[in-house]
Structure 1
Amino acid sequence: MSRKLLIIGFVWPEPKSSAAGSRMMQLIETFQLADYEITFASTSSRSNNAFNLKDIGVTQVSIELNSSSFDDFIKALNPNVVMFDRFMTEEQFGWRVAEHCPDALRILDTEDLHCLRKGRHQALKDNTDFNKSYLFNDTAKREIASIYRCDLTLIISEAEMDILSEDFKVDESLLFYLPFMFDYIPSDTYSELPAFEERNYFTTIGNFLHEPNFDAVLHLKKNIWPLIRQQIPDSQMHIYGAYASLKVNQLHNSKEGFIVNGFAESASAVLKKSRVCLAPLQFGAGLKGKIFDAIKNCTPCVTTSIGAEGIYGNYQPNGFIENNPHAFADRAVELYTTKVLWQEKQKFGLDVINERFSKRAFQEVFIKTVLDISIELYERRLNNFTGQMLFHHSLQSTKFMSKWIEAKNK
């Protein structure tokens, strides 16, 4: 008999719009390979970019916040595993899952550490170095509490595994490193894609609902692109991304070669025509989907230490890592104008994906871990006293606030 998985999504997955959407599709695929019957539920409204999960055999259900209708739904479904998409959904529905399906394994998929992204953003605003005083923010208190209340938490970046174990002292038995997972890419892929001479512009891509992406484009427009244009006057910078707002579109300036194109139906189609990908991220967390898209299309990339975090390990990057705007611009120009260097760098990324982000390296181990924890669930929870304590105290306020709202809305 197949096991049942309920995923409670913060949003409906949009793999063409965001790395988070692609990540969710990878998780769904992994559970389907293990013969799980999957239901995806969310309180959010579906956009035109949302993937139709019915097409791959996943049941889609709309659920309500602060409503006992969810209690009836989950009791009838009776899942073996419940996965929360980001800590906010665990706060909203975790107590209901625990109350009505106490034997279900509870997994938290962080996507990235929200407290880390928020702390880095505040440090940037304050024009100062990021430190623990920025990391230990109010979001961290909520996020770490959510990690303790769950039986297992998926962490997408090695850097975030280190932060959780070293700075927050979270027991590593509660964490599982599960990054992006990709099929093997043949080492000669670059020879099948457009050559140096066939690629004509710089590109960046990213969902504009994600604050780090807009900040990076603004930083690019103000501080980096003018330096590049001084050296390559006829060059063009093409900006792609879903949900471009008025403030994004206002950055468009064809005379300056700064072209805002909006949503790209296919990131690969865009990147394989581009000579260099630029990702000047100044804050953020997790793994950056745009860099993996660039690697897969053999498009060399210039990024920052924030953009590169958790990706390359001991391998050479498929380009350069620079934080200073002048150095960033110089490296971008060097890559764009030097064919031999460009060809050298475009080959480096394939080993990074094949050796560090292979599906084969993670899928089986993850599913086995889920099964092992399910068998030892009672013992595991008994040893996680902090999690039980947080369930007793923290979620009581969430529970009764939700019940009060529900009663008020009747």
Structure 2
Amino acid sequence: MQKRLLIIGFVWPEPNSSAAGSRMMQLISCFKSDDYSITFASACTKTDHAFDLGSLGIEQVTIVLNQSSFDDFIITLQPDVVLFDRFMTEEQYGWRVAQHCPDALRILDTEDLHCLRKGRQQAFKEQLPFDNSYLFNEIAKREIASIYRCDLSLIISEAEYELLTQVFKVEVSLLYYLPFLLKPVADSTISNLPDFNERKHFVTIGNFLHPPNDQSILYLKHTIWPLIRKQLPQAELHIFGAYVSQKISQLHNETQGFLVKGYVEDVAEVIQKARVCLAPLQFGAGLKGKLIDAMQNGTPSVMSSIAAEGMFGNMEASGSITDDVHEFANSAVTLYTHSSIWKEFQSNGFDIINTRFQHSDFQTDFLQLIKDLLTILKTHRQENFIGQMLQHHHMQSTKFMSKWIEEKNK
């Protein structure tokens, strides 16, 4: 019998707008390869950038927060597997899933560790070094509880997997390292990419609803770009991304070569034209989609240590990694002007994509793990008493709060 997957989305996937959107489409592709019947549900408003899931034969359902209508929906659907897109959706709907579909496998896709990003953002705001006192924040209490309540959580970064097991002491049986699931970059694709001399200018890209991207553009504008521009007065920085705010739009300055171009339908096309990608993120978490896009399109990068986190493993990076402002600018200039260094970093990028993020290296094992968990689900949950305890208390508190809100809104 065909198995049914319900994905509860925090947002509707926008693969051309964010790494999270690309990640969701990769997961959907993975489940489709195993012939799952997929329903995608979200309470979020769908934008013009949202992918048409119906074109893939996926049922799309709009759900409502704090409404018992969701109970009727899931009782009728009776999914075998429920995938929560980020811990916030598990908080809202997890107790309803547990109550009405107790035999459904509950999977959390963390996207990235929100508590890590939040802690780093707070340390950055206070201009202090990040340590575990920033990590153990209110978001951490919610996020780690969500991980325990689920049967399996997907972790996109090795660094975050280590943090969960070593610092938060989460059992490895509840976690699964699943990075970006990519196709190999073929030799024929590489040979058709523009070479060093056919490219010009710098590029950066990101969804501007995401605070780390927003801050990195301010950092580039006021601190890094003037240093690069002083050495390369003809160079330009092209800034692409969805949901550009007025604050970012106002940074556009053609005289300074600082060009805010906004949303682009084809990311590959604009990255292939650029010679160097800049990613000076000062806080954040997870794997950075902009670096993946750059490597896939043969564009070396200069990046901060946070941008590079979890990306390269023991392999040589696809560019320079530094948190020093002057070193960052000088590395960008060197990479822009030295073809031999540029070609070496470009080659590293192709090796990284083809070695660390191949869907074929993870997909079969992941799908088999799901099958195994479905057969031993009762035992698996018995071994996670903390999760049972948290589920019990969460169900009681959230259930009655949700019902109160529903009554209040009538």
Write the deviation string for residues 296-327 of structure 1: whole angstroms up to 9, x where unpaired. Answer: 00001000110011111111111110111100
Write out aligned runs for 1:363-402 (5 A).
363-402=363-402
**C-alpha distance in 2 between matches for 1:84 and 1:195:** 42
**C-alpha distance in 2 between matches for 1:254 and 1:143:** 43
Q: Corresponding residue for 1:125?
A: 125
Write the deviation string for residues 126-168 of structure 1: whole angstroms up to 9, x where unpaired. Answer: 1111111000000000000000000000000000000000000
Q: Corresponding residue for 2:340?
A: 340
- Number of residue pairs aligned between Structure 1 and Structure 2: 410
Q: Corresponding residue for 2:21?
A: 21
Q: Corresponding residue for 1:324?
A: 324
The CA deviation at 1:66 is 0.6
Which residue identity is paired with 1:207?
N
The answer to whether 1:93 aligns with 2:93 is: yes
Which residue identity is paired with 1:154?
L
Contact 1:271 1:297 in 2 (8 A): yes
Contact 2:14 2:50 in 1 (8 A): yes
Write the deviation string for residues 352-388 of structure 1: whole angstroms up to 9, x where unpaired. Answer: 1111100110000000001100100000111110001
**C-alpha distance in 2 between matches for 1:332 and 1:197:** 16
**C-alpha distance in 1 between matches for 2:218 and 2:190:** 31
The answer to whether 1:235 aligns with 2:229 is: no
Contact 1:202 1:236 in 2 (8 A): yes
Q: Corresponding residue for 1:60?
A: 60
Which residue identity is paired with 2:243?
Y
**C-alpha distance in 2 between matches for 1:395 and 1:303:** 43
**C-alpha distance in 2 between matches for 1:45 and 1:113:** 24
Contact 2:95 2:394 in 1 (8 A): no
**C-alpha distance in 1 between matches for 2:160 and 2:238:** 31
Which residue identity is paired with 2:31?
F
The answer to whether 1:294 aligns with 2:308 is: no
The CA deviation at 1:170 is 0.2
Write the deviation string for residues 198-238 of structure 1: whole angstroms up to 9, x where unpaired. Answer: 11110000000000001111111111000001101111011
Which residue identity is paired with 2:407?
A
Q: Corresponding residue for 1:190?
A: 190
Contact 2:23 2:180 in 1 (8 A): yes
For the aligned residues, what is the CA RMSD? Answer: 0.8
**C-alpha distance in 1 between matches for 2:340 and 2:115:** 41
The SS at the match of 1:256 is coil
Which residue identity is paired with 1:404?
W
Contact 1:201 1:275 in 2 (8 A): yes
Write the deviation string for residues 175-213 of structure 1: whole angstroms up to 9, x where unpaired. Answer: 000000111112464331111111111000000000000
Write the deviation string for residues 19-49 of structure 1: whole angstroms up to 9, x where unpaired. Answer: 0000000000000001100000000010000
Q: Corresponding residue for 2:36?
A: 36
The CA deviation at 1:71 is 0.3
Contact 2:276 2:302 in 1 (8 A): yes
**C-alpha distance in 1 between matches for 2:164 and 2:204:** 30
**C-alpha distance in 1 between matches for 2:326 and 2:116:** 27
Point out 4+ residue stretches in structure 1 off by more than 6 angstroms: none
Q: Corresponding residue for 2:249?
A: 249
Write the deviation string for residues 42-88 of structure 1: whole angstroms up to 9, x where unpaired. Answer: 00010000001000111000000010100000000000000000000
**C-alpha distance in 1 between matches for 2:251 and 2:399:** 45
Which residue identity is paired with 2:335?
L
The CA deviation at 1:395 is 3.1
Which residue identity is paired with 1:123?
A
Write the deviation string for residues 250-301 of structure 1: whole angstroms up to 9, x where unpaired. Answer: 1101110000000011110010000000000010000000000000000010
**C-alpha distance in 2 between matches for 1:344 and 1:67:** 55
**C-alpha distance in 1 between matches for 2:187 and 2:53:** 32
**C-alpha distance in 1 between matches for 2:216 and 2:248:** 11
Structure 1 segments unaligned to the other structure (5+ residues): none
Q: Corresponding residue for 2:278?
A: 278
**C-alpha distance in 1 between matches for 2:310 and 2:298:** 19
Contact 1:187 1:350 in 2 (8 A): no
Write the deviation string for residues 378-402 of structure 1: whole angstroms up to 9, x where unpaired. Answer: 0011111000100111332111110
Write the deviation string for residues 73-106 of structure 1: whole angstroms up to 9, x where unpaired. Answer: 0000000000000000000000000000000000
**C-alpha distance in 1 between matches for 2:339 and 2:111:** 37
Q: Corresponding residue for 1:207?
A: 207
Contact 1:274 1:299 in 2 (8 A): yes
**C-alpha distance in 2 between matches for 1:359 and 1:390:** 33
Contact 2:148 2:386 in 1 (8 A): yes
Structure 1 residues 51 and 84 mapped into 2: Cα distance closer, same or farther (>3 Å)? same
**C-alpha distance in 2 between matches for 1:58 and 1:98:** 23
The SS at the match of 1:290 is helix
The SS at the match of 2:184 is coil
The answer to whether 1:313 aligns with 2:318 is: no
**C-alpha distance in 1 between matches for 2:340 and 2:164:** 41
Which residue identity is paired with 2:336?
Y
Write out aligned runs for 1:97-112 (5 A).
97-112=97-112
